[in-house]
Amino acid sequence: MILMGAALAGCKKEVVRYASFDEYPVRTDELLEMNYSPTETTFTLWAPTAEEVRVLVYETGEGGHPIDTYTLARAEQGTWKTKVGKDLKGLFYVFNVKQEGRWLGDTPGINAHAVGVNGQRGAIIDLRDTDPAGWSQDRAPQLGSVSEAVIYEMHHRDFSAHESSGIAHKGKYLALTEEGSRSPEGIPTGIDHLKELGVTHVHLLPSYDYASVDEHTLEEGKYNWGYDPLNYNVPDGSYSTDPYAPEVRIREFKQMVQALHKAGIRVVLDVVFNHTFNTEGSNFERTVPGYFYRMTEDGKFADASGCGNETASERPMMRRFMVESVRYWMREYHIDGFRFDLMGIHDIETMNAIREAAQQIDPQVLIYGEGWAASTPQLPENQLAMKANIRQLPGIAAFSDEMRDGLRGPWNSDSIGAYLAGIAGNEESIKFGLVGAIEHPAIDYTKVNYSTASWAAQPTQMISYVSCHDDMCLVDRLMTSIPGIRPDELSRLDKLAQTAVLTSQGIPFLFAGEEVMRDKKGVHNSFESPDSINTIDWHRLATHYDVYNYYKNLIALRKHHVAFHMGDAERVRSGVSFLPIELEGVVAYRLQDARDEWKDIIVVLNARKDFAKVEVPGGRYVIVCRDGAINEQGLGITYGPVTMVPPQSALIMYLSES
């Protein structure tokens, strides 16, 4: 039902009312809200329930009084529009929507592409002015297959802010453009470190404009991960060298992407469409109240995010917004992948629409997310992008908490260990992750953490990891769950954990700094802890160079041998088999892929504190990983049918006839 022409508060303005959100008109053109040219600027806002809309223009990004106010006229598909026939470049703007006789408050809109300090006002700029030299020629490095991906998750401040980083632009986008940075011991850091390590993708924690860090007071060192969205489609100012100049954050973000591409590294952006920082005062709520959020039956804002609200991805304009945002980051910023926070809150149809749109731009785009929610969302579970529904999400991956917690221990108790702590009963969870969460005849699913069946159709739909920014980092978790652990045990188990991750048929994912055994002083949830907790101390690169070297060589081993990343479920089912093991705390498997020059590879993971005797097929083997060392050219020769694996370590060897 649509009612037209009602009068409110003595006004004779035309009012449009809708019986339900399903009746709201859907904007079919690009969701552009400010379109600049030197001769005119067009303002367009989708606000179908408004009775009036105005745009206020300012000289600065904050403070002062508007220098002009323009009234928008009702237009097609629920939009309001006006054209200002003069050059507004360098000025700032906000919209204000009137509904039911009340002005809802200033907002840069839901889709600002440039903002002033702290994101309170949109900025009128020419985006082409923000392109660095050579930007039109920038191209992402190509992979042979998405199965070759190795992801490195980082926070801008964590990676470069420590005094030992040798980086000039500490904590900034430009930190990742600096070549030649060194630790005090003379070892490469920064982008040179990433190139040497060999990762294929850098996953950036949220880098859009978020609300919790005051860009005025950056010198005070206020820290946050950024999971509190304000403006989704513009970089955050706290990582720029000048948050007051709208062009600077955009240009520096592009320079960062360009530098990473030049270094052979693709870029993944962490996106948080599932909730906003606030609700009542959010850009969504000040534009079309109620539409962009789900409500409970009693009319309250639902909260499956645990952050005060949950967005309604199933509604056409929220879906359009999400799809267009992903396309915008790919086209304007050359982003190569997206990690979806609490992806389980979003509906399957929307996530598939995002994947289809993204793959049209880049067939190698990487899309993955958390296949869960903080609490039960307001949609039926069979409609949600939960881990259990990943088969319905081709080309989209989810994190495997089965493998993660099988290795380190349960998510709800830092003090309880698992496989790495020598606790029996976690072997099937490890095997589940090693095959990439696909259906495999050798897995006993009754003994797998959290899942009683496979959930991935393809191994590339599973993210293999043991730690990330959430919860304790690996070193802290090992120290907490294994009281009294010795330094040598700590490094051995660290290497063992990542051997499982990097020989998994899923897509491996590493938390920045774990290659130098970073810690976070035991802090479980460091989302707003200071730099003293979160930053990577690059002195550790020299102290733990053997661990770093192990990670580097293990990544190279994975890259060079397709048997470690077969990329296809049928190949994995036929090419990955598990050796019969009677010992607890040992997992042994065999990799066979006709495409690999190593036709028969044996991997053994031994979490025991003593040597493990493992029966293997007879023959002559070249050992490439043993007792915490890796050398692809060979560490020695051994012969089946029995091999001995040192305690708390991995063995990798291949069958060689000569």
For the segment 90-95, the average pLDDT, to the nearest whole number, is 98
Q: Among positive and negative, which fits the CA dihedral 531, 157, 555, 411?
A: positive
Question: Is the per-residue pLDDT at 6 higher than 90?
Answer: no
For the segment 117-130, the average pLDDT, to the nearest whole number, is 98
Quote the pLDDT of residue 13: 62
CA atoms within 13 A on the CB side of 182: 5
In the three-class reduction of DSSP (H, G, I as helix; E, B as strand; rest coil), residue 22 is classed as helix
Cβ neighbours of residue 568 closer than 8 Å, sequence gap 6 or more: 458, 459
Question: Tens of pLDDT along 180-218?
Answer: 999 999 999 999 999 999 999 999 999 999 999 999 987
Q: Is 119:231 a contact under the CB 8 Å cutoff?
A: yes
Q: Is 245:62 a contact under the CB 8 Å cutoff?
A: no
Structure tokens at 63: 């403070």
Quote the pLDDT of residue 3: 35
In this structure, which amino acid lies at residue 286? R
| Catalytic residue, candidates 370, 405, 428, 537 | 370
Distance of CA 484 to the CA centre of its chain: 34
Q: Where are the domains of the chain?
A: 2-130, 149-564, 577-655
Quote the pLDDT of residue 1: 31
Question: Is the per-residue pLDDT at 12 higher than 70?
Answer: no
Domain 577-655: give its CATH architecture. Sandwich (2.60)
The Cα 344–Cα 385 span in angstroms is 5
Quote the pLDDT of residue 15: 73
Question: Which CATH code for domain 149-564?
Answer: 3.20.20.80
Q: Do domains 2-130 and 149-564 have the same CATH topology?
A: no
Q: Is 71:52 a contact under the CB 8 Å cutoff?
A: yes
**DSSP per residue over 385-422, as a string?**
--GGGGGGSTT-EEE-HHHHHHHH--TT-TT---GGGT
**Among candidates 149, 118, 27, which has minimal Cα distance to 81?**
27
Question: Tens of pLDDT along 623-643?
Answer: 999 999 999 999 999 999 999
Task: Evaluate whether the domain defined by 2-130 bears CATH number 2.10.240.10.
Answer: no
Percent of the chain with pLDDT over 70: 98
Structure tokens at 331: 């086209």
* Alpha helices by DSSP H, 303-454: 316-333, 348-361, 401-408, 427-434
Beta bridge partners of 107: 95
Question: Tens of pLDDT along 281-308?
Answer: 999 999 999 999 999 999 999 999 999 9
The Cα 123–Cα 94 span in angstroms is 9
In the three-class reduction of DSSP (H, G, I as helix; E, B as strand; rest coil), residue 241 is classed as coil
In the three-class reduction of DSSP (H, G, I as helix; E, B as strand; rest coil), residue 338 is classed as strand
Q: What phi-psi label fits residue 9: left (phi over 0), alpha (psi between -120 and 50 degrees) or beta? A: left
Q: Angle 246-262/190-197 helices, nearest 10 degrees? A: 30
Tell me the pLDDT band of 220, cut-offs 50, 70 and 90: confident
First to last CA, the chain: 80
Question: Tens of pLDDT along 405-462?
Answer: 999 999 999 999 999 999 999 999 999 999 999 999 999 999 999 999 999 999 999 9
Does 285 participate in catalysis according to the annotation? no
Does 428 participate in catalysis according to the annotation? no
| Catalytic residue, candidates 158, 341, 537, 600 | 341
**Among candidates 93, 56, 91, 86, which has minimal Cα distance to 71?**
56
